[in-house]
Amino acid sequence: MKFFVDTADTAEIRELAATGLLDGVTTNPTLIHKSGRKFLEVVEEICGIVDGPVSAEVVALDHETMMKEAEILRKIADNVCIKVPLTIDGLKTCKALTDDGTQVNVTLCFSANQALLAAKAGATFISPFVGRHDDNGFDGLALIEDIRLIYDNYSFGTEILAASLRHPIHVLDCAKIGADVITAPPAVIKMLSKHVLTDKGLEGFAADWAKTGQTIL
């Protein structure tokens, strides 16, 4: 499974990239707003930190303007992945961009039918929103299962990028289902390393080491 981080905070991205865990980055207009920085500037910096795909989202709603925005975004770096909404215009844009060799992340997916359309349009990634689906009374993990089944039935090359993950159990369940990629906030990714018994074991080792009166350095 690939790990993407969902943030526009370049300090957080650098920290995670240094662990070797990070395969890519996803951003969106909300995350850019939270960063307080200029969109193109942030994307360019992120592309210089990670080698993998960096999702940069268009904000237009019509195909023609989406294509114009995408043209600007994909010139930033070779690893820019254009993010488009799951609408008819978004799918049309996806098809045009992927036919031209550009990676495309189709976002705001909330049904398996939508995911099927994205795969037919040649999407590089499909982003089903697990947590947000749960928030509205649906089963976000069941959505991942349905998409996995459909994509496997027809050998679609589109990768399932599970998004809107709220906690480590979401990550675990997506891995068990077979999502190709997860994207989560930095805090959720860091939580994956946490366990009370790990902390307890370290405390015990530190106490016993102190009793030896030794140092390594």
Just list the catalytic residues.
Answer: 83
Q: Which residues lie below 8 Å from residue 156, measured CB to CB, with a gap of 6+?
A: 119, 150
Rounded to the nearest angstrom, the gap between the alpha carbon of residue 34 and the centroid of all alpha carbons in its chain is 17
Residue 209: Cβ within 10 Å count = 12
What percent of the chain is helix, strand and coil (3-state, nearest 5)?
50, 20, 30
**Residue 66 Cα distances to 6, 28, 47, 88, angstroms:** 22, 15, 21, 12
Q: Which residues lie below 8 Å from residue 67, measured CB to CB, with a gap of 6+?
A: 93, 96, 97
- Among 36, 93, 37, 40, which residue's Cα sits nearest to residue 62? 93
Q: Which residues lie below 8 Å from residue 88, measured CB to CB, with a gap of 6+?
A: none
